[in-house]
A and B are shown apart, each in its own frame.
Chain A
Amino acid sequence: MQKAKAIELDVAVVDGVELSGSWNRMFEPRAISEYDIAVLDETTAIPGAESLGYCYQCGKCTAVCPVDTVGDYSPRKIFRRTQLGVSLVDSPDLWLCTTCRNCLRVCPKEVNMIQIMPAVRERAVLDGKAPDELLTAFENTARYGNPIGESPRKRAEWAKTAGVMVPVMAQKKSPVDVLWFVECYPAYHPRGKQASVALARLLNALNVDFGILGNEEKCAGDSQRMAGERGLFEMLAEHNIKMLSKYTFNHIVVTDPHAYNAFLHEYPKLGGDWPVQHYTQYLAERLSALSFVRSIPRRITFHDPCYLGRHNGEYDAPRRLLTALPGVELVEMGHCRETSYCCGGGGGGMWLDSFTRDYTSERLSEKRVREAIEYGADILAVTCPYEVPRFEDAVKSTGNAGKLAVMDIAELLAYSVGLTDEYAAN
């Protein structure tokens, strides 16, 4: 690993080519000649963005901001740039935050990016300043009920390949114990569908009385909310609450930590108040009912999803499931639990891949994959539907194909219980 230099050089040698950095001083004056405070005042006047003005420049956030390890960005810098008159609404900085919540965890002044980002982004979206690819995801969600642009009529297609009964509430016409809110990537993405099949089989093996909304389900919308489309979020929430209200069930189990966050904190405000569990929490309570028949003699490391861990405090349920797997050696990465790194998909990051690439040296998912390999893992276990595709791409793009498998915990469990035949590409 190359060590960082204490002093930035005027001349850097990159791949043998000398690059001079001093030329840019011909274009920009060095001295700061104005603090246009109006910009900071305007920004902090946006409801939700008040705490941006609280920053006293300690820099604790910079050390834990995943984005600053790959780009010149951190909440401290956001405050300074705004104080210097750079409008956050117009700045690419606005779209780099993945709302991973690591800055808020350490911020002594409680500068709350989890509120600032959606608030300022909402303004930018209204002003027509959101990146095109994000708008595409918004449009897809509005039109099809999912950000990927898949047909809403095919939302339950995956269930046909499950090999077990996956009852759809509209057809079942009777109350269930568990309403499984599947979400978009588990319903449409090829790897997401595999995890859904695994989870469906696990629920069947546990004799769970469950049902899904099928085509009546739309995206839970939490990431769209964090990305600045509160109106869209409310529309989706209203729809889902209306559909859910038609049926009788005891509680909701979700696949997606982002949906978990929405059901836990946002839907109740809009009238949708049901007990909700992430599927790892639900399964961890029923571990004793699972009989494991296959060993997985591998080193597994676990990536805590931001919205399950830091946002909602659940670190143990996924680990209880992983340590129950016969043969598995669980190794923790340096960044784990509260200090977990971010996959880059949250807060709209899932739909800003090209945009983000212009401002960062590598994807957050790539950095995370390197860490998993550094800690000697054979399998990177995940439990957020954004992560399987993100990390699998990162394994390939970092040249580690074949060295690290990325598996949803549901897939690992289903294999070990004997419900599926494969657990990893290798």
Chain B
Amino acid sequence: MAKADTVLIVGAGPAGLEAARTVAELGKRAMLIETKDQLGGTPYAYYATLTPDLQETEHSMQEILDAVEHHSAVDVRLNTRVVHSEGSLGAFHVTLDRDGAQTVEEVGAIVVATGFQHFDPGRETQMYGYYEYDDVITLVDAEKMFKDGNIVRPSTGLPPERVAFIQCVGSRDRQIGNKYCSKVCCGIASKQSIEIKRMLPNAKVFIFYIDMRMYGFWEDQIYWKAQEEYKVNYIRGIVTEIIRKGDKLLIKGEDTTMGRPMEVLMDLVILSVGMEPSKGTVEMSRIFQIPREEHGFLQVIGGPLNTVSTPVPGIFVAGAAAGPKDIEDSVSMGASAAAKAVGALKRLELEVR
């Protein structure tokens, strides 16, 4: 019975971390598997600050990292991947691989928190020249510069005077195959625009959008703040393509509230790339036989009322592995998945008695 007391958590981003902590707090053992050599997942690896509060990521996440790393009931396995699984609820036999050394672990339940990967803006019909123009970058590239405390045009190394964000890159597009909204990019672009204005008060920052989708409190916490306090210019109308003009970029689209074409020169263009299921998420779908829903993310069975139970008994999902999520939702799902996993184990104990 002791081994069935363990919940395996795959992925150590916000959802996996919270799941591990919650499992431990509920009195079971958590085994937290992470392929990278660092806890924290995508936000920790790629984002200098968090949305919406603009707090430094490493500082913000330190509390949960410490809680997980120092908890005696959490077994953290870095540089480790899941390669195979057999068995079922109460007795999954999961093969883990660390640098080629494989072990088989018996666990009672599983939480998959393998997250998302950023959309590759070079794909499909995205005519933004991401791989052609140095000064077309993504939100992630911008965060890398923010970590160093600056923002420059990669082509010159000098600060940009005019910056354009293009929203919905890789999202809401039937031709690309991603019909969904990635949920967080409007907020992240607005957050970044505030950071750029803080670093470069004289820069002119534009956000070109189809619809601004600022859920809940993000509306006034970042969108209104960016517009009203930081004078960020929101222009309704998306950019179709980018053309090189001298050492600048000519962005072409429609200014839809004016009903006219728009062709404006920019120094730096930041693509608000959306979310796709990560390789790990796709891999876990295969290994654990979790069906993927129509957008390619892991399927849950309860619709809006159960966001964490997959069709496979004993296997739960948390965070962006189940579809685009912000950190708040990922953490909430992590706790929810952990509670349900522990609950499943407890029911087994009752049945045995």
A interface residues, Cβ below 8 angstroms from B: 30-35, 37, 40-41, 44, 53-54, 56-57, 76, 80, 83-84, 109
Contact = CB atoms under 8 A, between A and B. Distances in A.
B227 A54 contact: yes
B91 to A, nearest CB: 55
B228 A54 contact: yes
B261 A35 contact: no
A80 B260 CA distance: 13
B236 A32 contact: no
Given A33-B263, A37-B204, A56 B258 contact: no
A56 B212 contact: yes
A53 B227 CA distance: 7
Main SS of chain B's interface residues?
Answer: strand
Given A54-B227, A80-B257, A84-B258, A32 B264 contact: yes
A31 B204 contact: no
Interface string B223-245: 11001100101111000000000
Given A37-B233, A41-B231, A54-B228, A31 B257 contact: no
Contacts of B316: none
Contacts of B257: 57, 76, 80
Given A30-B260, A31-B262, 10 more contacts: A31-B263, A32-B258, A32-B260, A33-B262, A35-B264, A37-B233, A41-B231, A44-B231, A53-B231, A84-B258
B224 A32 contact: no
A84 B258 CA distance: 10
A32 B236 CA distance: 13
B206 interface: yes
B166 to A, nearest CB: 15
Interface of B: 204, 206, 212, 223-224, 227-228, 231, 233-236, 255, 257-258, 260-264
A166 B258 CA distance: 57
A84 B263 CA distance: 13
A31 B235 CA distance: 15
Closest CB pairs A-B (n = 3): A31-B261, A32-B262, A31-B263
Contacts of B236: 57
Contacts of B264: 32-35
Nearest to B237: A32
Nearest to B229: A53
A35 B206 contact: yes
B267 to A, nearest CB: 14
Nearest to A81: B258
A30 B235 CA distance: 17
A32 B252 CA distance: 10
